[in-house]
Amino acid sequence: MALIQAMASESQMTASGVLAALKGFSLEELDRVVATAERERQAKRDAARKALVEEVRAKAEALGLTLSTLLEGAEGEGPATKGKRAPVLPKYRNPETGETWSGRGSAPGWLKRHEEQGRRREEFAVGNGS
């Protein structure tokens, strides 16, 4: 482990040099190296994300916008589009109970039972006398 730290402190260290040095490590040493590398990767990812958010926030403010209002205009992005799908109208109705089904997803049990009895799905279409 100390070897990797010493090698990594050199500015000329390459990934292939680090990988070559790992060959002589025990399993326990490799586990420590991996854990350390994962922490380092996450720290760099967090720092890059923070820098990007700050850069976008500054550009939005220069346009007189907040970051959240900026994202509202992004098509298919961010919280502005969440939960804003139009309701689906029912296509089929159970004449016995009034229960409806939009035609999306798995057919409901009542419709499956009627179909098993030889009835056609179209008989239960909304606007078809049901």
If one compares 15 and 120, the residue with the highest pLDDT of the two is 120
Asked if residue 9 has pLDDT above 70, the reply is: no
- pLDDT given at position 83: 63
If one compares 106 and 79, the residue with the highest pLDDT of the two is 106
Please state, rounded to an integer, the average pLDDT across all residues of the chain: 84
Whether 21 and 72 map to the same domain: the answer is yes
Rounded to two decimals, the pTM is 0.44
Residue 30 exposure: Cα atoms within 13 Å on the Cβ side: 9
Q: How many domains does the chain have?
A: 2
Whether 101 and 62 map to the same domain: the answer is no
Asked if residue 59 has pLDDT above 70, the reply is: yes
Whether 14 and 76 map to the same domain: the answer is yes
pLDDT in tens, 60-99: 889 888 888 877 766 555 455 556 677 889 999 998 899 9
Whether 34 and 76 map to the same domain: the answer is yes
Domain limits for position 117:
92-124
CA distance 69 to 92: 40
Provide the total of helices (H) and of strands (E) in the chain, helices listed first. 5, 2
CA distance 53 to 34: 28
Query: Is residue 104 domain-resident?
Result: yes
